[in-house]
């Protein structure tokens, strides 16, 4: 996993006040602010809409992040390792690849100390709405780059907010 120092060295604030991580535009925000946005969307639009909004947005963002890593020369599992390492360094919690079979379109990813679940607190339900989409988006980009003609989806199977010891996400063919 990449160290925080390496990440910090790749961050640049441009003269026109844009924060860049390599070629990716970034925004820093407090964890409580992200949690407040999630709560407001869920309260305003309902649980189902909130899940879809976060899933779709995270899918698109992870796919684009993966493309940027492929442009840097990373391939297959390296892209997922870099993505999860970057999420970990950026404060989302500690990610690990439990299993990953690119040719079969299957992966299992674990998150210790989920920032989302910790921020929103115990709920009895999965709360990391964005992470299944993020795992699926990054994985789909890898499949597309390697020519594997599968479409995948992600789902959360364990969540700290439900009382599980960690969050876990499964990616599999649709």
Tens-level pLDDT at each residue, the chain (174 residues): 557 787 788 889 999 999 998 887 888 889 999 999 999 999 999 999 999 999 999 999 999 999 999 999 999 999 999 999 989 988 899 999 999 999 999 999 999 999 999 999 888 888 899 999 999 999 999 999 999 999 999 999 999 999 999 999 999 999
Angle at CA of residue 24, ends 168 and 130, nearest 5°: 25
Strand duo 24-26 + 152-158: pairing: unpaired
Q: Which of 114, 74, 116, 121 is nearest to 96 (CA)?
A: 114
Q: What is the CATH number of the domain that holds 141?
A: 3.30.1380.20
Number of domain units in the chain: 1
Domain of 8, in residue numbers? 4-173
Query: What pLDDT is recorded for position 63?
Result: 98
């Amino acid at each position: 996993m990449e160290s925080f120092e390496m990440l910090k060295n790749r961050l640049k604030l441009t003269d026109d006040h844009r924060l860049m991580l390599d070629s990716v535009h970034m925004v820093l925000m407090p964890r409580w602010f992200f949690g407040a946005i999630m709560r407001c969307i869920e309260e305003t639009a309902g649980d189902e809409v909130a899940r879809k909004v976060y899933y779709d947005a995270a899918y698109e963002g992870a796919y684009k992040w993966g493309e940027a890593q492929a442009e840097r020369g990373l391939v297959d599992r390296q892209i997922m390792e870099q993505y999860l390492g970057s999420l970990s360094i950026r404060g989302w919690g500690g990610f690990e690849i439990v299993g990953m079979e690119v040719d079969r379109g299957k992966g299992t990813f674990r998150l210790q100390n989920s920032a989302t679940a910790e921020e929103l607190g115990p709920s009895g339900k999965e709360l990391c709405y964005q992470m299944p989409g993020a795992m699926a988006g990054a994985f789909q980009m890898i499949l597309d780059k390697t020519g594997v003609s599968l479409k995948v989806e992600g789902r959360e199977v364990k969540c700290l907010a439900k009382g599980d010891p960690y969050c876990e996400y499964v990616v599999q063919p649709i």
